[in-house]
Amino acid sequence: MGFFGFGKKKKTVDDDVRETTDATAEENDAPSSVASDAGEAGEAGQQPLLGPWDINDENAPDYDEYLNMGALYLPFLFGIELRLKATNPEGHIISTTITYEHSSLEMEVFAAPKTTGIWDEIRSEFVDGRVKAQEVDGVFGKEIMLPVQVQDKEVMSRIVGVDGPRWMVRAIFTGPAATDADSEEKKALDDFFSKVVVDRGSEPLAPRDLVYLSRPLTPSQVKEIEAAKAAAAAGDDAQNADDHSELELPDDPNGYGQQSQVQHTLRRGPLFSEMR
């Protein structure tokens, strides 16, 4: 687990929601035309939000100045902290959590079939399996409100799913971003999530398989790598230019990447469930 400060650091809530479901389906090996239908039924008085976006969508935001995490490109928002969650012992990065003020947003990417989304099915299974789960209309379409026990108090979470071409992004909001429709934190994190860009890649995966994320790279680091690749002649030099696993993470002038901390265990809490 790592921390990358986008600005001032804030205390975060340990928010981990997943559901265990069996998934057996064909491997995906070609793009589909499935488009995100998030936000069909927005909250009363609010315009629906249409993101996250597929990297190949002509209407996707310009992500050149985003934080590059491989399958996810994250926009900049001053004052947020980014936390990574990795498996043990493989160390694959499976999710990222954005903390802003007293709210947090956890995101994971899942593989989906070529022609249909999976959020409707997953949402139905989730609600049917939990008495306290409530399906509501939100700014990203059908969302789930779920109270969960964290230590000695109950915390409300808001679970959102957005389908795209061969992917689904599952997001979990906690704090005022989950409970206070008029809060600045909810508006900021909803806007943040709506600007995220997804790069599913071409790796064949079964529906509901996790799409692993990459170690975060700031825009300046991406430019450094691209310059190194361009300058590399061939052979080992070219291979080393592609490998950023040992890349230093200096402070970035845009405000990304201020510190890194690694933990080799995967923490599981009351908001953690398996979706695979």
CB neighbours of residue 36 within 10 Å = 23
Judge whether 55 and 198 are in contact, CB under 8 Å.
Answer: yes
List, for residues 126-162, the tens digit of each pLDDT value: 999 999 999 999 999 999 999 988 888 899 999 999 9
Q: Is residue 16 part of a domain?
A: no
Tell me what percent of the residues of the chain surpass a pLDDT of 90.
Answer: 56
| Residue 138 within a domain | yes
Q: Taking residues 13-32, what's their average pLDDT?
A: 36
pLDDT at 43: 53
Which pLDDT tens digit goes with each residue over 34-80?
334 444 445 554 556 789 999 999 999 999 999 999 999 999 999 99
Domain assignment present for residue 39? The answer is no
In a domain, 229, yes or no: no
pLDDT, tens only, 224-238 = 988 888 888 555 554
Helix runs in the chain, H state only: 119-128, 176-179, 184-194, 219-231, 236-242
Residue 154 lies in a domain: yes
Q: What is the CATH number of the domain that holds 101?
A: 3.40.1000.10
Tokens at 215, concatenated:
């170690």
117: containing domain: 53-224
> Which region among 171-175, 245-249, 259-263 has the lowest average model confidence (pLDDT)?
259-263
For 92-112, the pLDDT digits (tens) are 999 999 999 999 999 999 999
Stretch (H or E) spanning 132:
none
Asked whether residue 188 is domain-assigned, the answer is yes
Is residue 276, in this structure, part of any structural domain at all?
A: no
Structural domains counted in the chain: 1
